[in-house]
Amino acid sequence: MREKVVLAYSGGLDTSVAIKYFQEKYNMDVITVTVNIGQLEDLNEIAERAKALGAIKHYSIDALNEFAVNYIFPAIKANALYEGKYPLGTALGRPLIASKLVEVAEKEGANIVAHGSTGKGNDQVRFDVTIKALNPKLKIIAPVRDWNLSRDEEIEYVKKHNLPVEIKKSIYSIDQNLWGRSIESGPLEDPYSEPLPEVFQWTKPLDKTPDQPEYLELEFKGGVPIAVNGQEMDPVSLIQYVNKVAGEHGIGVIDHMEDRVVGIKSREVYEYPAATCIIEAHKDLEKLILTRHQLAFKSIVEQQWAWLVYSGLWVDPLRIDLQAFIDSTQRYVEGKVKLKLYKGGLRVVGRKSPYSLYNYALATYESKSIFDQRAAIGFINLWGLPSCLANSMSKEVKKEGIH
């Protein structure tokens, strides 16, 4: 009996060549899977191409809402920015796609799964770890990495077999989903050269953005956005809408020197209009609601969370444990944040919450204040005690020397 392989199929060159290779060189049946998490490509066209290349079956799985609710929302609660910059779109998408591959493989009785990652990036780590953790019996093949295919060889192969694959001339490597767009390679490999306007699709160039600022009011409940400008929206529509509005103002361009899991530094350019607005607003709202102790500890947890997700360990129990802590902090994270968008810039200009810890009577400089200033004197004596002790000791030592 021919072996069956379940392949994550994007419709692009690498995975199209792989479909044919598996049949021709390895004598395997190929089942293709395309998981929609907002790549905006034509899913029917992809399905047809898979069939034309000889896939015995194709799955088109719509996981857009699942991606928003189970992957992006936890990232919002975690204010997730890898190395303080990257909102992790690709990193969040991979474990979801991997879990669908495993599901299909189990359903179809296949013992091999395959994906199009190279051997130089993070995606191979994310796919492989998730697949191995969910089903250790599955064998994994990443054709580009494992067969060491080069682009030229692939193009040669496409021509020789007259495969129905469009060979795009794009010099950039692009990955996009609902949460954002990542662009790498080509001229971007020189970290000093400014990205050409052609790389941007979601964000307007600054000389084309509106000359008037625009306000955006984001409403959160349980730490996640539920409404924009007073209008309730489902998670997917809300993210799409904010992407559009903020993109019009040129917001969300991130140009980042990034440390990959495999040790390489790479220059990454991102477009994340909605993520930039939503995370900024969410962070601000938390500052109104959480105690300083919660905030300080949460920021450590957030960094660890982002690192685990970036480095492919979505399925690790530590990520799940940190998630439980983060979720617990979100129970009162409810309220509204007003953002002002203008010429690529974003400002929080107002925030309110029924669970605010801001107390006007304590904070005001007016005479009505209930804060007893005299209490500060004793507080400062004790607060500064260790520092004062250390300073007077070192003065003594300087004067007397050590005996």
Applying CB under 6 A, which residues contact ligand ARG?
90-91, 122, 173-175, 182, 184, 258, 268
Q: Which has the closest alpha carbon to 116: 15, 46, 11, 228?
A: 15
CB of 374 to ligand ARG, least distance (A): 54
Task: Calculate ∠ Cα 63-90-69, nearest 5°.
Answer: 40
Q: How far is the CB of 181 from ligand ARG (least distance, A)?
A: 9
Q: Closest distance between ligand ARG and the C-beta of residue 163, in Å?
A: 22
Residue 136 and residue 169: Cα distance in Å, rounded?
38
Which helix (DSSP H) or strand (DSSP E) does residue 215 occupy?
Answer: strand 214-221
Nearer to ligand ARG by Cβ, of 265 and 368: the residue is 265
- Tell me the closest approach of the beta carbon of residue 285 to ligand ARG, in angstroms: 26
Q: How far is the CB of 29 from ligand ARG (least distance, A)?
A: 28
Q: Quote the least distance from Cβ 10 to ligand ARG, whole Å.
A: 10
Pairing of strands 173-177, 139-141: unpaired
Number of H helices, E strands in the chain: 15, 14
Supply the DSSP string of 248-286, one letter for each residue: HTT--EEEEEEE-TTS-EEEEEEE-HHHHHHHHHHHHHH
Name the residue nearer to ligand ARG (CB basis): 46 or 188: 188
Longest dimension (CA), the chain: 90
Strand order through the sheet with 180-184? 173-177, 180-184, 265-271, 253-259
What Rg, from alpha-carbon coordinates, does the chain have? 26
Closest distance between ligand ARG and the C-beta of residue 92, in Å? Answer: 9
DSSP string computed for 18-82:
HHHHHHHTT--EEEEEEEESS----HHHHHHHHHHTT-SEEEEEE-HHHHIIIIIHHHHHTT--B
Q: Which is nearer to ligand ARG, 173 or 193 (CB)?
A: 173
**Of the two residues 125 and 218, which places its CB atom closer to ligand ARG in the complex?**
125
Q: Judge whether 16 and 54 are in contact, CB under 8 Å.
A: no
Distance CA 125, CA 311 (A): 7
Active site residues: 14, 94, 123, 173
φ and ψ at 83, to 5 degrees?
A: 50, 35
Closer to ligand ARG by Cβ: residue 87 or 335:
87
259 phi and psi angles, rounded to 5 deg? -95, 110
Q: How far apart are CA 9 and CA 12, in angstroms?
A: 8
CB nearer to ligand ARG: give 184 or 334: 184
Residue closer to ligand ARG, measured from CB, 41 or 175: 175
CA–CA dist 272, 47 (Å, integer): 28
